[in-house]
Structure 1
């Protein structure tokens, strides 16, 4: 076998184990061909010496917002995907968002396809955001989108007036997606709770950025998460609750999982590393707290972070995504929309933070690769599950992405050898098109030395981004897998076959 690339002397980490040191990875035509020892290398074979460093699968970030109309100062495909590969992410799944007045998904797909085509350094796919789930869309268009275009997931919002769907619409979507084997994602916050609190804050002239966190209390996420789980249980449909930030809401998921309901959970770096104190801003720039405005908001107490870390370690969370949804800070069309005639108005601040580049290094820094074992927040295999293997399986990319095994795309992160790759995160190091990082000054114990996409080195820490913007391929995805629980559960209190009377 004449390999195109051989990676030598690394420690391979999979979702189930850390393999013995010194194994080699043989790559041909963008695929992993074999894992072994003493693999032959001809004069045409590129050889990368890992020097005893860990090798993990290229990251799959399944929650990324790029080139969306409601974020005109945010990242487009070129800058967002460039940032992704610089941080070890080789696959991104972004959102094609349906306007509330749109009665078909075909124009939505066509428009988003034009934005992404030949603009991505990373491989990519789409989710649909459904805001107007008409009968024609659910019964006629979604089957075509899944079968012909490989778009096998949708996202719903329980809040935001311009995007929210009511409980009946959630049910209609769940039943439609269940029949197609599609994954339903849901943003769970109580719209009415939030609106009531916002009205009171504005009436009392409490409008600084920090009051964004006050306006969206934990109980609003707790209630909506429980309600979303109940809707999914009635429909007997898999669901992923996105960007969870509340320990109580996550406990609702864990309780559902113990009853074998197919309820998955996702969290993000900002909910593990940052607190609402950041939203108060700096003394010299009070409005700078706007940089940390996101929904759900950063929580108030360290115990909130501790609860989420426990759920990272114990398996409650299925995926760990960036929710990269940034707007520039120092721009009149970005976060500074929240300054109205010089007066802060938190309701006008665009939601979202940059994070697609920092997601993987932040979490890797909490593993035994960078921490003493007694201080590590998760194992190396759990890291691989959360950042690569699970999202690949959940979103229909199993067998191609998310693992290091023969037959898979040769998507790899090669880290620095121990104690040589530490980085302090700063805006100067970032490759996005945003003017700040919320993780400024955070120390991480390692950073990707090489990012490899389908056998090609696209990031070399010593040289920077070396990939081609047109190298990223669109991924037609298959049906997602249920990774926790099962289909076929009877909702509590129902008699056997009760659904047959009304389905």
Structure 2
């Protein structure tokens, strides 16, 4: 390595690598990590002094809604540029967002349209989940298999919501297809009938305020749907992922299913770990509305237990950005009932700092578990095999963290286009200060310096996980 010339060398940081925690220099050439060594010889066009700092793999956020039209016809607040810049400020360097099909659409056209948006806006690398709302029109027989073969190996299914939910037969057809072609099927798992039943009862009683949203999505809706989807996976042999698990019972169902050999993985989100249902009693509660809703302190503890024992392998943002205005949350009027208020919160930028604060600064599980949960495991689950680790040959997606940097979130201090921070008033210790994507500086000195469109599409590897 004497006198070798690299593009970038990060010197002297405490790195979490595939081999563990070590003080190391990390050399990058042509977007790849070329060498990891103590006091690495050689030079580079760009040298970064990381002494006293942590050098971590960039986060991989596999659940975010970007520049997406909802089933109700609302465009969310972020473009690929604003969302991915926000993600980068939070230390995330790869995202999987959604190509959302609506009834009557050809899936190949849907994916192509989202690809254009991402190609011109994204500043970090990205992939897509295919939201399947229509299995007819040759989508099941032609478009979806063809897209899987091209590398779009993740399918998203809703078991609730008008216009996008699939019945059991369609779900089984998609699971059979995924099993045959080695794709992963992800579920928003809530029982539609239970939600409809409770919503009708609440509205009939005049309980229309946003705080009643939680009651309209009872925990039994999640419990029943997770159990059913695990059974469907067991029946078909298909790999599945349960999104945004929020209840103790949901985690228990997944734990038991995995114990009997069902190929199911699961994720949860920061808003289930750091918020409880009483947040809907606060001022402007619509900003905290999400589905499933936040639950109880006991559920929070159960989710941490499930993370610790491997039942839940990922923590993702479920970034679903709607502004608090008449083109966002209140598109149906300022006094709209809870069932006509857009669901979702921003989370791309806050996911990693919140988890770092809990797991590292407060010592809940430690830095290696933090990296596994927020970078390595998500990359592995979705076949992004050059992401999520600091290791030779991997993409140089790197976030340099100051573990002592304390910050109290303010009302509107994020870099997305949502206009509010749901974690206003929360203090975190530890934050990324410099972020690289494939060796390119994308965040430095408090600025996103990446060019829109500099991110690249990621093919999902066909290997089973």
Would you say same fold, with TM above 0.5? yes
Verify: 1:89 aligned to 2:92, yes or no: yes
Q: 1:73 to 1:63 in 2, by over 3 A?
A: closer
Verify: 1:328 aligned to 2:329, yes or no: no
Match of 1:469 among 439, 442, 452: 452
> 2:68 corresponds to which residue?
68
Q: Where in structure 2 are the equivalents of 1:157-176 lying within 5 Å?
A: 157-176=158-177
How much is the aligned-residue C-alpha RMSD, in angstroms? 1.5
Alpha-carbon offset, residue 135 of structure 1 = 7.7
Secondary structure of the residue aligned to 1:210 is helix
Secondary structure of the residue aligned to 2:220 is helix
Contact 1:30/1:456 (CA < 8 Å) preserved in 2? yes
Q: Output the CA distance in 1 between the equivalents of 2:256 and 2:96.
A: 28
> 2:415 corresponds to which residue?
431
Secondary structure of the residue aligned to 1:55 is strand
| Segments of 4+ moved more than 6 angstroms | none
Q: Where in structure 2 are the equivalents of 1:446-457 lying within 5 Å?
A: 446-457=430-441
Alpha-carbon offset, residue 3 of structure 1 = 0.9
Contact 1:395/1:479 (CA < 8 Å) preserved in 2? no
> 1:136 corresponds to which residue?
138
Q: Which runs of 5+ in 1 are unaligned?
A: 283-287, 483-503
> 2:285 corresponds to which residue?
289
Alpha-carbon offset, residue 353 of structure 1 = 0.6
> 2:261 corresponds to which residue?
260
Q: Output the CA distance in 2 between the equivalents of 1:139 and 1:224.
A: 26
Q: Which runs of 5+ in 2 are unaligned?
A: none
> 1:499 corresponds to which residue?
none
Q: Output the CA distance in 2 between the equivalents of 1:389 and 1:146.
A: 23
Verify: 1:4 aligned to 2:14, yes or no: no
> 2:243 corresponds to which residue?
242
Match of 1:317 among 312, 320, 337: 312
Contact 1:12/1:54 (CA < 8 Å) preserved in 2? yes
Secondary structure of the residue aligned to 2:257 is helix
Secondary structure of the residue aligned to 1:337 is coil
Match of 1:307 among 299, 302, 313: 302
Q: Which has the higher strand share?
A: 2
TM-score between the two structures when normalised by the length of structure 2: 0.95
Q: Output the CA distance in 2 between the equivalents of 1:2 and 1:343.
A: 63
Contact 2:271/2:294 (CA < 8 Å) preserved in 1? yes
Q: 1:240 to 1:9 in 2, by over 3 A?
A: same
Verify: 1:147 aligned to 2:149, yes or no: yes
> 1:111 corresponds to which residue?
113
Secondary structure of the residue aligned to 1:240 is strand
Q: Where in structure 2 are the equivalents of 1:479-494 lying within 5 Å?
A: 479=462, 481-482=464-465
Contact 1:393/1:481 (CA < 8 Å) preserved in 2? no
Contact 2:5/2:42 (CA < 8 Å) preserved in 1? yes
Alpha-carbon offset, residue 67 of structure 1 = 0.9
Alpha-carbon offset, residue 260 of structure 1 = 2.3
Alpha-carbon offset, residue 480 of structure 1 = 5.0
1:138-173, CA deviations, whole angstroms, 9 ceiling, x for partnerless residues?
23222321223x111110000001110011111110
Q: Output the CA distance in 2 between the equivalents of 1:258 and 1:338.
A: 45
TM-score between the two structures when normalised by the length of structure 1: 0.88
Q: Output the CA distance in 1 between the equivalents of 2:64 and 2:239.
A: 21
Contact 2:69/2:76 (CA < 8 Å) preserved in 1? no
Match of 1:337 among 331, 334, 337: 331
> 1:478 corresponds to which residue?
461
Q: Output the CA distance in 2 between the equivalents of 1:367 and 1:53.
A: 17
Secondary structure of the residue aligned to 2:430 is coil
Moved more, 109-118 or 253-262: 109-118
> 1:182 corresponds to which residue?
183
Contact 1:312/1:378 (CA < 8 Å) preserved in 2? no
Contact 1:61/1:92 (CA < 8 Å) preserved in 2? yes
Alpha-carbon offset, residue 52 of structure 1 = 2.6
Secondary structure of the residue aligned to 1:23 is strand
Give the length in aligned residue pairs. 459
